[in-house]
């Protein structure tokens, strides 16, 4: 990408302008760690607390569905909601979600996709994803695998859609998280099918410059960029859709 085009600037401005009246019109309320968070999107995330003691199990509603959360996993939040709201899965797509958490996005994707591979570095997250996929009747489509980034993917596997929503830098102390994102951009091209799409979340407007550099250095183009104003919280989630420059 050679620079921020007027189209990208319009996308952000329109996103913010669209967010404000929507936020006042019908604000979904989120409960994360007891904090109510307002956001302009239509997908709600609601944490409903513990429903089982041994082993501990928690309930979270995401996009109108109930998911079980195991102890030690990371559940969905407004980043996940924004990512899912701006993603498009076509019938028959082969989908990869890197860092699936408890599997919410992969499970929704499995309703349309022909195959979903959901990976996570934490074994408990993989176990939790398998459990939720069975509960939602898509255990035969969601293939949950443990490992670091693309480690669990065979060299010959190809995906039409790849999701990436993993912690990103949000202050000086967390800049080291870029290393993970840089590895993602360096390796993702090997697994993205011709014409494929990457849905990538890395909030904070200040992150845009480095995201553009990583994309450009690896021959990707930012095709869409959507930003939310999340009221009463310190993040500005941003979803990007990227494609290979040679596919455009
Ligand atoms: C914030 S959660 C996101 C979950 C899900 N993608 C979503 O949007 O709701 C990030 C997940 O990425 C996993 N993760 C972190 N580093 C990873 C890595 N190097 N490789 C694979 N997964 C990783 C974490 O264990 C966690 O479950």
Domain limits of the chain? 6-247
pLDDT at residue 230, rounded to an integer: 67
Sequence-distant (≥ 6) Cβ neighbours of residue 211 within 8 angstroms:
181, 200, 202, 222, 240
In short, whether 98's Cβ falls inside 6 Å of ligand 1 is yes
Q: What is the pLDDT of residue 3?
A: 45
pLDDT number for residue 49: 83
Per-residue pLDDT tens over the stretch 120-145: 999 999 999 999 999 999 999 999 99
pLDDT < 50 regions, the chain: 1-4, 6-7, 9-32
237 within ligand 1 shell (Cβ under 6 A): no
Topology of domain 6-247, CATH: Rossmann fold (3.40.50)
pLDDT of 13: 41
* Nearest Cα residue to atom 4 of ligand 1: 101
From atom 12 of ligand 1, which residue's Cα is the shortest distance away? Answer: 99
- Chain position carrying tokens 């041994």: 54
Give the count of beta carbons closer than 10 Å to the beta carbon of residue 40.
24
Whether 128 is in the pocket of ligand 1, judged by its Cβ within 6 Å, is no
* Cβ 99 under 6 angstroms from ligand 1: yes
Residue among 78, 42, 45 nearest 62 (CA) = 45
Q: Which pTM does this prediction carry?
A: 0.87
- CB of 121 shorter than 6 A to ligand 1: yes
Mutating to test ligand 1, I would choose from 83, 98, 121 the residue with most ligand atoms within 8 A of its C-beta, which is 121
Q: Is the CB of 96 under 6 A from ligand 1?
A: no
Looking at residue 26, its pLDDT comes to 37
CA angle 237, 242, 243 (to 5 degrees): 170
Q: What is the pLDDT of residue 38?
A: 64
Query: At which residue do the structure tokens 């994102």 appear?
Result: 181
Q: Look up residue 213 and give its two tokens.
A: 């550099």
């Amino acid at each position: 990408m050679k620079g921020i085009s007027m189209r990208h600037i319009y996308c952000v401005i329109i996103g913010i302008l669209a967010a404000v009246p929507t936020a006042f019109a019908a604000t979904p309320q989120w409960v994360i760690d007891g904090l109510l968070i307002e956001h302009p999107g239509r997908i709600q995330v609601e944490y409903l607390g513990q429903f089982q003691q041994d082993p501990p199990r928690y309930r979270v509603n995401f996009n109108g569905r109930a998911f079980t959360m195991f102890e030690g996993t990371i559940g969905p939040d407004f980043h996940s909601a924004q990512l899912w709201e701006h993603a498009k899965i076509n019938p028959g797509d082969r989908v990869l979600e890197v860092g699936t958490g408890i599997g919410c996005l992969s499970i929704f994707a499995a309703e349309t996709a022909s195959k979903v591979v959901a990976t996570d570095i934490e074994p408990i997250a993989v176990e939790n994803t398998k459990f939720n996929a069975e509960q939602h009747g898509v255990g035969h489509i969601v293939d949950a695998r443990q490992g670091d980034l693309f480690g669990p993917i065979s060299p010959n596997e190809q995906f039409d859609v790849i999701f990436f929503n993993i912690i990103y830098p949000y202050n000086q102390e967390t800049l080291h998280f870029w290393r993970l994102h840089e590895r993602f951009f360096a390796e993702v091209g090997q697994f993205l099918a011709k014409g494929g799409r990457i849905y990538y979340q890395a909030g904070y407007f200040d992150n845009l410059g480095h995201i553009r550099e990583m994309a450009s250095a690896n021959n990707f183009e930012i095709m869409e960029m959507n930003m939310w104003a999340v009221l009463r919280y310190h993040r500005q989630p941003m979803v990007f859709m990227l494609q290979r420059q040679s596919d455009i």
